[in-house]
Structure 1
Amino acid sequence: MSSGEIECSNTLEDALDQALPSQAFVYRPVRQRVYSLLLGDGRDGTSTCPTVKEWFVYSGNPLRHPDLVRPLQMNIPGGTPNLKLLWLNQEPGIQGRRLDALLGCFDLSSSREELQAVENPFKALCCLLIYLFVQVDTLCLEDLHAFIAQALCLQGKSTVQLADLQLDYIDPRAVQLGSLLVRGLTTLVLVNSACGFPWRMSDFMPWNVFDGKLFHQKYLQAEKGYTVEALVEQNRSRLTKFHTLKSVVCKACVKENRRIISRQLWRSHQPGRWGRQGSGSHRTSSGYSRAGQGQHWRDQGPGNRQYEPDHWRRHSSSSGWSN
């Protein structure tokens, strides 16, 4: 960031799965708000709007040129605090301003109360899940169950138990979902650092909240229709926590007009939209336009494009990128 560049040259994504967006685009609005926090957005009239060069891998991008991304204006109660306040101020109450900035980067200020009530280390996980389920329309209730169940069951698993887990088969979508969440955890590290550490870094280290193989197991079980009791391995304490965390995520999503439904219900109402060749949609702040070309977000072509800050809006592959 000191040179105005940021890179992520690796990812685990299925180019044939049109229902899930690339992590490069899912978390771009968060990065844009971090750029605004660190570099300013040029709206005060005293400076030009900075541009950050992003070298992020996604299908169709050979990484010959960077994407030129501009900061996205933040919406934080009480206004955007400056870095001196976030990083150096030790006055009582400043930790609350730091948390406001962190949630502002994810555009989740309205979920502050719900997240504050969640115990560690699940607070950060819930923040990411709310963001992902608001951002990606094709995530369903079974996905949420798998994410929460694996996080709760992970607390009682030894390294040997995790290593000995056996999977019936490997599902590409589960691999990509796991990769998407882990990328979210690394994004959360960036945001937490930029905001002066309102949360403990240990709370979103992957070994505390996520294990890929365990998630894969819970994902396959949820797909087969396992009950919640079975997903949490008949543990009453986990079951209580499961319903608490699920309620936090679902209520926060409802505030953003996002209702999380079962995949079976989705299929009955959205024929042809689900699956490897579906036309999943997601929200973006990018101002890049391919209106009228009917191309999916995965087919945006190589880099060297400018991305302007803009309001949230939903896109689907049936309509292409549009203003």
Structure 2
Amino acid sequence: MGIPQLQSYIEKACPSDCFYKVNIEQLAKNYREQTGGYEPVIVVDGSSCIGFIYKGLDWAAGGQFKQLFEKLDAFIKSFKRIGVRLVFFFTGGTVGPKRRKWIERSYQKQDEIHMIFDKLAKGWQVEELEKWHMLPTGVGSYDRFFFQYILQCEVHVSVDEDDTEIAHYARKNQCFAILAQDTDYLIYEGAPYYISALHLNLTSMSSYVYDRKKLMIHLGLETFHMPLFASLAGCDRVSFEDLKPFHRRIKFEFNKPNQFVAVAEYIKRYGFNSEESIFDSLTLIAKEALNDPEARNVLEISIRCYMSSTPLYTIPSTDHPHWNDILQRAEELHRFHHSLQPNMILNVLSGEPFEYGYSFEDFRKEELPKSGCLLRPIRMRLYGILLHEKPPKLDPILVHEWSMESLNSLEADFRVKPIPPIDAHPGLLALWSDDRTREMQTARWQLFAHSLSPDLDFGVLTDLPDNLILPTAVFFFLQKKNFLEEWEIESLIATVVALPSVPTEKLASLPANPVNLRAVQIGTIYMQAIFISILVFSACGYPLPASQVFIHPYFDGKLHQKMYSKFEKNTFPYSLMDPDQDLGDDLERNRQLSLFSQIKARVFLSS
């Protein structure tokens, strides 16, 4: 992310004071001394850091969420031990200018997944594929919930650009560092230190700092030059590929070995003395850099996104007071209540697209439905709940979806029409209120259950343990779609029922090989459905408090692989807690078998 090749340039070609090793505990101590005892706060770009935190856990089988929680807990404790508080930000979606880059990355990631599937099918071991390690489906969505509801951290999900909001928060709250791996933080005015997540060592609490000020000195640029520098070097908003002819030309013209020094020389030639003077010359710059004077608009958008004087994006108001109240409340729940609502709720209400990117599925084969398409009916009913009160005079009530569900499905967006709820809808403001009367709770449960399936009676959910409510609703949906064998759904039920009682050491010791690719894709569909069910649960005002919904690890890929193998061979495991029966006592074993039987009976109720 950020500016292509700039990280490598600053690490390998710049003076040593641009990139140097630091002890974070000492940095925090220095900060306290310099500020008269202020608490050191690091803003963490969660979206760019989670991949480094997840390292070491199984990824090919579908993810290990129980172990992920332990790693997140250890991560937090490492910073608490040295007196540093962490504030987390996660991306809320792709803003318009970055859509093309998001599509390119989605296709690239999906190609890598297909390659991984091919190698696993040929007998490669998971360990041999480590250089293609990527986050399993769901990890990038659930980590924020673990941080917020289990570890009690301050968590934000962006409405504007993620890195823009991080830099704004760090600057406004005088945070002493940003922990990330995104060269855009060398451009923004944010915190004094930009600490590398890639080089973070939690044992020694050391990492490397990318020094923005020293980079500017090296390039001979001022602070107000940096947004233009990023835009001409190539970033998420201005295509690096489109700038390559310009880079070749100015490297020759200024006799410089790389594009970064050449771009700096090009900027200095104009003699700019302020931000506004740059905009006066932008038409000429667009013609010289992109061979198109009309491209000044692209450059201006890019530059303003980096400028500290640019205000954060806010949801625009309409001429309809009641709808404005809904939008305002949705933004409050998203932004000011530490992201009580997932970002997709606000996106849909404000007319932004719904995103459904790459996942661990094989789009070249048709043996299983693709989750993006399979789950669309649930999303349509979700849209029906959210847009039920949207005034007809506003834009056509359609939701634009960027959904990865075939090899070329991102060539254009899908225009999706909401399905109106079949139950009484008390209004979003009422659903999102503190009203917990029996009547309102019934409305919430009915809307939720019928969004998953019109045939689902919410009464089959409400007396289950908290960790089994969403999975059971999903199992019911999957059973109704009639593409899985009964034993395949049973293997999922067994995984979810057993997971709370299996120690993490046991999960870690389960074999990573061989990987059953059909089981991986079934696990992906299940996890995507869990995430959609969370969105519906949120839209309905949480029939159960969020703190009871978001604290559960709903899946473990390696445990599912083992359960899938057992059920495929028709060897029903006597002990769900451990198919080899070396853990647990009779009481726990019987409890799990009872839960398994209850859920199975409810899921296959009408089959």
Q: Which amino acid aligns with 2:408?
A: N
Long gaps (5+) in structure 1:
260-323
3-state DSSP of counterpart to 1:88: coil
Partner deviation per Cα, 1:110-162 (whole Å, 9 max, x = no partner): 42222223222111110010011112x22111112211111122111122211
Partner of 2:441: 95
Asked if 1:118 corresponds to 2:496, the answer is no
Conserved 8 A contact 1:174-1:216: yes
The structural deviation recorded for 1:74 is 1.6
Percent of matched pairs sharing the same residue: 26
SS at match of 1:55: strand
The answer for the alignment partner of 1:9 in structure 2 is: 357
The 2-side partners of 1:249 and 1:164 are apart by 31
2:466 and 2:548 in contact (8 A); partners too: yes
**Structure 2 residue aligned with 1:211:** 556
Q: Give 1:67's aligned residue.
A: 414
- Aligned residue in 1 for 2:525: 180
Q: How far apart, in 1, do the equivalents of 2:461 and 2:402 lie?
A: 32
Where in structure 2 are the equivalents of 1:222-261 lying within 5 Å?
Answer: 222-229=567-574, 231=576, 233=579, 235-251=589-605, 254=606, 259=607
Cα 1:68–1:160 change in 2 (3 A) is same
- C-alpha change, 1:211 and 1:186, in structure 2 (3 Å) is same
Instruction: Describe the SS at the equivalent of 2:354.
Output: strand
Q: 2:276 is matched with which residue?
A: none
| Mapped contact 1:5–1:53 kept (Cα < 8 A) | yes
**Separation (CA, whole Å) in 1 of partners of 2:492 and 2:603:** 11
Aligned pair 1:138/2:486, yes or no? no
Tell whether the 8 Å contact from 2:450 to 2:457 is kept in structure 1 after alignment.
no
The 3-state SS of whatever aligns with 2:430 is helix
Indicate the SS of the match to 2:574.
helix
1:41 to 1:51, Cα distance in 2 relative to 1, 3 A: farther
SS in 2 for 1:125: helix
Amino acid at match of 1:198: P
Distance 2:386 2:493 in 1: 32
For residues 171 and 47 of structure 1, do their structure 2 counterparts lie closer, same or farther at Cα, with a shift above 3 Å needed?
A: same
Secondary structure in structure 2 of the residue aligned to 1:116: coil
The Cα RMSD (Å) is: 2.4
Single out whichever of 206-215 and 126-135 deviates more from structure 2. 206-215
Tell me which amino acid in the other structure corresponds to 2:383. Answer: Y
CA drift of 1:15 comes to 2.8
| Cα distance between partner residues in 2 of 1:207 and 1:116 | 17
Q: Where does residue 194 of structure 1 map in the other structure?
A: 539
Match of 1:36 among 346, 360, 384: 384
Q: Out of 232-241 and 142-151, give the one that drifted further.
A: 232-241
Q: Quick one: distance in 2 between partners of 1:45 and 1:167? A: 53
Q: What is the aligned counterpart of 2:374 among 10, 13, 26?
A: 26
* Distance in 1 of aligned mates of 2:467 and 2:563: 19
The Cα shift of 1:200 comes to 3.8
In structure 2, the CA distance between the partners of 1:110 and 1:242, relative to structure 1 (3 Å rule), is closer
Normalising by the residue count of structure 2, what TM-score does the alignment of the two structures yield? 0.39
Q: Which runs of 5+ in 2 are unaligned?
A: 1-346, 582-588
Q: Which of 58, 80, 84 does residue 429 from structure 2 map onto?
A: 84
Structure 1 residues 207 and 80: CA distance shift in structure 2, 3 A? closer
Shift of 1:211: 0.8
Bigger helix fraction: 2
- The superposition leaves residues 225-267 of structure 1 with CA deviations (integer Å, 9 ceiling, x where unpaired) of 112425553522221221111111111xx1xxxx3xxxxxxxx
CA positional deviation for 1:209: 2.7
Q: How many residues align?
A: 249
| 2: CA distance, partners of 1:179 / 1:130 | 16
Q: TM-score, normalised by structure 1?
A: 0.70
Give the aligned residue type for 2:447: A
Q: Which has the higher contact order (CA 8 A, sep 6+)?
A: 1
The answer to whether the 8 Å contact 2:358/2:404 transfers is yes
